[in-house]
Every structure is written in structure tokens, then in C-alpha cells.
Amino acid sequence: MLKTVEGTYSHGRIELNELPAALPDRTSVLVTFLDGYSGRRRIPSETADELAEIEAICRHCQALQELDSRSPDEVLDYNERGLP
């Protein structure tokens, strides 16, 4: 699942502006720091629709069965020196 929540970083802690709904405790997150961003921006409905579509695609992809469990290096047949 992909969910975006705005927040503020201060003194080593991140405070979220809203709590995401229905997430289990200790869910993994990725944090991106926005340089020069100040203030809350409203998402135009067109962008919100696109975001909802992207989230639906992410849910679909996460539900797909893994067909090849090899690492990218194994697929490309890389060895310890790089190229095969």
C-alpha cells in the first residue's frame, strides 16, 4: 500500500498532520524531506484522482504473485566482477 501523509520534523521526531487509517502498529515507512517547502498545500481534485489511481496500481502490483525470486544480478548473470 502507498499512503502519503504530511508532517513536520523537529528535534529527531516526525509529527504527522493526520493519522493514516487502518495501519497496523510498527508499519514500515519511508521519509522524504522537502527542501524549501513551507506550509500545507491543497491537492487539486485532478491530482487527487491521479494519486488514487496510482495507489490502486500499487495495491494491484503488491498483490501479484512473484514469478522469479532471483535477484536482479542473478537475472543478468552478473558475477563478482560485474559483467558475465
- Residue 60: what pLDDT? 93
Q: Is residue 84 part of a domain?
A: no
CA 46, 49, 51, 54 torsion-angle sign: negative
pTM, entire model: 0.37
Does the residue 2 lie in any domain? no
Set of cell numbers at residue 18: 493526520
CA-to-CA dists, residue 65 to 21, 56, 60, 69, 78, angstroms? 26, 17, 10, 10, 25
Report the domain count for the chain. 1
Domain ranges, residue 53: 7-76
More confident of the two residues 81 and 59: 59
2, 58 Cβ separation under 8 angstroms? yes
pLDDT for position 43: 61
What is the rounded distance in angstroms from the CA atom of residue 60 to the CA atom of residue 74? Answer: 26
